[in-house]
Amino acid sequence: MFKTRFAPSPTGFLHIGGARTCLFSWLYARANGGTFVLRIEDTDTGRSKKEYLDEIIESIRWLGMDWDELYHQSDRFDMYRQYARQLIEEGKACEKEGAIFFKYEFSQIEIDDLIRGNIIFNELPKKEEVIIKSDGSPTYNFSCVIDDALGGITCVVRGEDHIPNTPKQILMYQALGFGVPVFAHVPLILSPEGGRLSKRFGATSIREYRNMGYLADALVNYLILLGWSPGENREIISLAEAQKYFDISRVNKSRAVFSLDKLNWLNAEYVKQYDKDRLGDVVIDFLRAKDFLPESYDKGYIIKVMALFEGRITTLQDIIDRAYFCFCDDYGYDEDTREILKKDYSGQILVLKDTLSQLTDFGCAAIEKEFRAVCERVGLKVRELVHPVRVALTGKKVGPGLFEAMEVLGKEKVIERLTKLISFWKEEGQE
């Protein structure tokens, strides 16, 4: 049976590099009709935390992946000790000061890595390796070998930073009488500056990307492209499609460079491509997670707001930043917008307010027609009234089409905000 695994340690959150390794391992299993295992490497009981584990599992699910088996290494300590004792009895390990050491009997080791090709190891840096610590817990190399062997893992997909562990583990496989799996070491992801990812460049947890308003589909698509391509210069590919075409031998040997611009472009494309109903659900979930969305707003309203900003949304956070006025009334007129309000048009705005309040059709076309008629009646050019009205309705100098925004806000809200502007001018005049 074809079988891969992802083995996160719950000593921290799931970051981009780990998520991509998980994705490639999952895709390799699914593309070959195999089994995918999620193994929690929580042998470091002091540093392992439930909050990290919960985030890892939640993030994997959010990205659209599942698993066929799940288990925790912390439940298997007795088994690791049993195999260590077996090695002692066979003279392949020894016990010193309460810890158990594996004795390497090294000879040249050669592997055919599925990504990197032929790798030859000519030496090891030391002759012994701790496999059971003095507190009775297993070390990474030892527990990893036992779990992969007993779990029937046929291909170990992991980051290239694990290459130095490979010869050590192969010697342990052989000493225990286990078969050796195939290895696929995925190149690391570099920052735009060429170094390792940092907080500034991409080394952010999956949860944080989710909180910043990135869509799971877009983030997965981006992770897929970090080192692998479906071919034919395709940039948009779904997780379902990738399962059909993924071939781990086509993962690039060179390290991928993280590009926030590329991720932003992909996310904006997915926002555009989502159908209105699905986008409405996603936006509602995001805004509620941010404690931003009052319960009174329904999906229909959200869909209208999204249409208002069509083509202008990169991440869902942009909705809060750009469309604040669609949900909240507590914005004021800052120094920038007050420049537009220096001239008092309260009389003309009063005429506009009275006219709009009588409209039975508060659609964009009807609003624009009456707006232009009012401007002609009071002797103003349209742009002279557009700018202060925009500030009144949105709190900003620029934004979406004014008449479209008025339709989305609705008559009651428009009248209310025009009244507020008239009051502002009145108060300013009394100072």
- Reported as a single tens digit per residue, the pLDDT across 188-206 is 999 887 777 765 656 689 9
Residue the block writes with tokens 């994997």: 60
Asked whether the beta carbons of 102 and 128 are under 8 A apart, the reply is yes
Average pLDDT score, the chain: 93
- Topology of domain 274-327, per CATH? Helicase, Ruva Protein; domain 3 (1.10.8)
Domains 76-186 and 274-327 share a fold: no
Give the C-alpha separation, 348 to 363, whole Å.
21
Instruction: For residue 90, give every residue at least 6 positions away whose Cβ sits within 8 Å of its Cβ, in sequence order, or none.
Output: 175
Handedness of CA 394, 395, 396, 402 (dihedral sign): positive
Instruction: For domain 335-430, give its CATH number from 3.30.1660.40, 2.40.10.10, 1.10.10.350, 1.10.10.10.
Output: 1.10.10.350
Q: Report the DSSP beta bridge partners of residue 155.
A: 182
Start-to-end Cα distance in the chain? 82
For 187, phi then psi, to 5°, come to: -60, 150
Residues counted in the chain: 431
Homologous superfamily assigned to 3-73+188-263: HUPs (3.40.50.620)
Give the C-alpha separation, 84 to 276, whole Å.
58
- Say if strands 35-40 and 3-6 run parallel, antiparallel, or are unpaired: parallel
Give the C-alpha separation, 17 to 226, whole Å.
10
Give the C-alpha separation, 39 to 295, whole Å.
39
DSSP assignment of 395-419, as one string? Answer: SSSS-S-HHHHHHHH-HHHHHHHHH
Q: According to the model, what pLDDT value does residue 283 have?
A: 95
Residues of 221-251 as b/e, b for ≥16 C-beta within 10 angstroms? Answer: bbbbbbbbebeeeeeebebeebeeebebeeb
For the chain, the domains span 3-73+188-263, 76-186, 274-327, 335-430
Of 417, 367, 22, 375, the residue nearest 186 (C-alpha): 22
Give the C-alpha separation, 345 to 343, whole Å.
6
For 26, phi then psi, to 5°, come to: -65, -45
CATH number of the domain located at residue range(s) 76-186 in this protein: 3.40.50.620
**Which one-letter amino acid corresponds to residue 323?**
A
Q: According to the model, what pLDDT value does residue 203 have?
A: 60
Reading the block at residue 98, the tokens are: 């309460």
Q: According to the model, what pLDDT value does residue 199 have?
A: 59
**Which one-letter amino acid corresponds to residue 344?**
D
Q: Is 97 left (phi over 0), alpha (psi -120 to 50) or beta?
A: left
Give the C-alpha separation, 61 to 14, whole Å.
12
- Say if strands 155-159 and 182-186 run parallel, antiparallel, or are unpaired: parallel
The alpha carbon of 48 is separated from its chain's Cα centroid by a whole number of angstroms, namely 22
> pLDDT tens string for the chain (431 positions)?
899 999 999 999 999 999 999 999 999 999 999 999 999 999 998 899 999 999 999 999 999 999 999 999 999 999 999 999 999 999 999 999 999 999 998 888 999 999 999 999 998 878 899 999 999 999 999 999 999 999 999 999 999 999 999 999 999 999 999 999 999 999 999 988 777 776 565 668 999 999 999 999 999 999 999 999 988 889 999 999 999 999 999 999 999 999 999 999 999 999 999 999 999 999 999 999 999 987 777 899 999 999 999 999 999 999 999 999 999 988 888 888 888 999 999 999 999 999 999 999 999 999 999 999 999 999 999 999 999 999 999 999 999 999 999 999 999 999 999 999 999 998 876 44
Q: According to the model, what pLDDT value does residue 192 have?
A: 82
The SS3 call for residue 425 is: helix
Instruction: For residue 236, give every residue at least 6 positions away whose Cβ sits within 8 Å of its Cβ, in sequence order, or none.
Output: 221, 266, 269, 273
Q: According to the model, what pLDDT value does residue 197 have?
A: 75
Give the C-alpha separation, 119 to 210, whole Å.
38
Give the C-alpha separation, 76 to 81, whole Å.
9
Of 340, 325, 338, the residue nearest 393 (C-alpha): 325
**pTM for this prediction:** 0.92
Q: According to the model, what pLDDT value does residue 201 have?
A: 58
**For the segment 245-301, what is each residue's pLDDT rounded down to a tens digit?**
999 999 999 999 999 999 999 999 999 999 999 999 999 999 999 999 877 778 999
Q: According to the model, what pLDDT value does residue 230 have?
A: 87
Asked whether the beta carbons of 380 and 310 are under 8 A apart, the reply is no
**Which one-letter amino acid corresponds to residue 402?**
L
Give the C-alpha separation, 168 to 156, whole Å.
15
The alpha carbon of 292 is separated from its chain's Cα centroid by a whole number of angstroms, namely 20
Give the C-alpha separation, 25 to 32, whole Å.
11
Angle separating helix axes 165-176 and 77-89, nearest 10 degrees: 70
**Which one-letter amino acid corresponds to residue 298?**
D
